[in-house]
Amino acid sequence: MRLATRRTFAALLDPFGVAIAEYERERAGVRILSPIVEPGTNPTAQAAAERLVTLLQSRGVGASPVNIALSGFGAVSHTMMIPSAPPEVLEAVVAREVERIFGIVDPVVAFSVARPRERRSRRRTADDHPLPLRLVVCGAPRALVDAVTEPFHASGLRLETLTTLAPALARLLGSLEPAGSAAAIVATAFGRPFTAFTVDGDLALQLEPPHAPANVLAALPLLATEQVERGLLFVRQQFRGAAPARLIVSGSADECDALRQMSGGTVSGLPVAVHPADPPEAAILVGTALEAERRDALSFVARPERLGGRLRTAIGVSALTLLLPFAAALLLMVTSLVLAAAVQGAQRDQATLRQHIEERAATLGALRAVAARRAMVDGERTILAQARAEHGTLATLLARIAFAAPPAVQIDSLTLRVDPRGALGTVTAHAVSVSGAGAITAIETLYAGIRGLAPGTTATIGDLAWGPAAGATDSTRTAVAVGVEFKVPPAAAPVGGGRGVPAVPSSEVPR
């Protein structure tokens, strides 16, 4: 499955030829497309690089990334054990060791820390020294690196990774051999065998043939056998007897057959598993591509960062963290400006509304005068109606008192006093009859009439005073005088003053 559309190349630079292939990333690894192999002696690494650049340009390759594995030219691969050290000093230590071991002045190094491998039988305590570091190291003279990179810079091609053959073989072996303790591979390029051993997935040893063209070297099976035997001895000694279960042989079909037929299908006692490749250098190109696809690929040149990484580098993660409060503050300031604009808008609204209120209130003076006039007229009408009702009530009360007296009763006097408690009155009267009972009946009628003056009226009758009727011509007529005090409640009395009830409902007053 094709995962990306950009073109990516893997290349091998060897003193005896160059090989290149475009590859595609797949979910399970990479797939080589139309590899090109050009055998031929390359006197210098720069000549090989220029040859490769020419090859790419002739096929119209522009700025596509190119990943190169170097074989020979002074580039070395090595595994080393060093005491535990902080990461920041490791590069200096490794460079010094490469300079010391290989005699390379001003080396460029690339290294990775392999999985720690405990060689002691007893458990390591906190007081013991920490496990030593096992490093996989690639080194090359700086002049070599410059010689390879210069043609790429001059042509505008992108050299993404530049490594040695060892990491490429380790990746190739990792993709072919199931996970195990130790594994071995012999891969051929330009007719020369290259052998690599891995332990726990990390490179343990890589062996190259002597610097001579294939035709002057011993037969390839013999060279390979010698490399395998040396490697087996090294791995067994350095990794507590570790040994691969079989030997992967990758090369042309003829090369694979030649190696498989040695000693009846074994090489140094290892069963041979052939992995034919066409051309044989394609297997190494696959390993180069696999190594290049790793984020921590061993490379002598810095991998050009992608846009996100370049931005992160340019700004800095810590700078982003530091800028965060300022960004939030900027956001708040913008919010403040928006709020300030809203406040100004509200103040403008207030000014407009105040102007409207003033304009409307200016016309209210006349309205208020009319309203006050109407209220005053209402009040005066109310009081007028109240006064008239008061006088009418008193006249009605007087008429009812007169009506309360039957014909046999004559009212002699009447006093009435009006106050807020009601009307308090006293009536004195006398009745004349031929019988005492008749006279009392008349008085009783008067009394009942007074009590019925208005609802709630109370009356008190005084003692009866008997005597002869004034002006009587016979002795049978008799007279009785009596005084009756009464009280008419305020609701029915002509009580003056107080708060008037509107005579006419305000709603009916013409407005």
Partner 1 sequence: MSPARVTPQRRWDLTVLVAGLFVLAVSGWVVLRAVARLSSERAEVAQLRSEADRLLQLRSSFVPPTRAESLAWEAADVDARALGVDPAERLALARTIARLAENAGLRGVQAQFIASDTLGVEPRTAAAGISYQPAAFGLRLVARGSYDDLQRLISRLPPSVTVRAMSAARTVGPPEYRLVLGVFVRPEGPS
Site for partner 1 in 317-376 (CB under 8 A): 318, 321-326, 328-330, 332-333, 335-336, 339-340, 342-343, 346-347, 349-350, 353-354, 356-357, 360-361, 363-364, 367, 370, 372-376
Strand partners, 23: 8, 32
25 to each of 29, 30, 165, 500, how far by Cα in Å? 6, 4, 20, 105
409 to each of 1, 247, 403, how far by Cα in Å? 136, 157, 11
- Which among 391, 421, 390 has a CA at the least distance from the CA of 501? 390
Q: Which two tokens stand for residue 388?
A: 């008239």
Q: Which of residues 113-152 bind partner 1 (CB under 8 A)?
A: none
CA distance 346 to 348: 5
- How many angstroms separate the first and last alpha carbons of the chain? 94
Q: Which of residues 217-256 bind partner 1 (CB under 8 A)?
A: none
* CB closer to partner 1 out of 149 and 426: 426
* CB closer to partner 1 out of 178 and 505: 505
Instruction: Draw the binding track, 392-411, toward partner 1 (x: CB under 8 A; -: no contact).
Output: x-xx--xx--x-------xx
Shortest distance in whole angstroms from residue 32 CB to partner 1: 47
User: Is 387 an interacting residue with respect to partner 1 (CB under 8 A)?
Assistant: yes
Which residue in the set 125, 413, 473, 475 belongs to the binding site for partner 1 (CB under 8 A)? 413
* CB closer to partner 1 out of 87 and 510: 510
Which residue in the set 64, 112, 149, 382 belongs to the binding site for partner 1 (CB under 8 A)? 382
C-beta of residue 9 within 8 angstroms of C-beta of residue 66:
yes
Helix (H), strand (E), coil (C) string for 27-86: CCEEEEEEEEEEECCCCCHHHHHHHHHHHHHHCCCCCCEEEEEECCCCCEEEEEEECCCC
Shortest distance in whole angstroms from residue 490 CB to partner 1: 11
C-beta of residue 109 within 8 angstroms of C-beta of residue 60:
no
Which residue in the set 92, 212, 253, 377 belongs to the binding site for partner 1 (CB under 8 A)? 377
* CB closer to partner 1 out of 352 and 476: 352
Shortest distance in whole angstroms from residue 367 CB to partner 1: 5
Instruction: Draw the binding track, 458-497, toward partner 1 (x: CB under 8 A; -: no contact).
Output: ------------------------------------x-xx
CA distance 155 to 176: 36
Using DSSP, state whether 255 is helix, strand or coil.
Answer: helix
Q: Which two tokens stand for residue 426?
A: 């006293």
Which residue in the set 41, 388, 448, 476 belongs to the binding site for partner 1 (CB under 8 A)? 388
* CB closer to partner 1 out of 214 and 495: 495
Shortest distance in whole angstroms from residue 400 CB to partner 1: 11
CA distance 72 to 165: 9
131 to each of 50, 126, 206, 314, how far by Cα in Å? 44, 11, 24, 37
The pair phi, psi for residue 315, each rounded to 5°, is: -90, -40
Angle at 307 between CA 304 and CA 313, to 5 degrees: 75
* CB closer to partner 1 out of 219 and 342: 342
Determine the size of the site formed for partner 1 (CB under 8 A).
Answer: 76
User: Is 418 an interacting residue with respect to partner 1 (CB under 8 A)?
Assistant: yes
User: Is 25 an interacting residue with respect to partner 1 (CB under 8 A)?
Assistant: no
Q: Which two tokens stand for residue 363?
A: 């016309």
233 to each of 128, 249, 374, 393, 492, how far by Cα in Å? 30, 19, 126, 143, 139
* CB closer to partner 1 out of 259 and 429: 429
Shortest distance in whole angstroms from residue 16 CB to partner 1: 51
Shortest distance in whole angstroms from residue 377 CB to partner 1: 5
* CB closer to partner 1 out of 83 and 497: 497
Shortest distance in whole angstroms from residue 14 CB to partner 1: 46
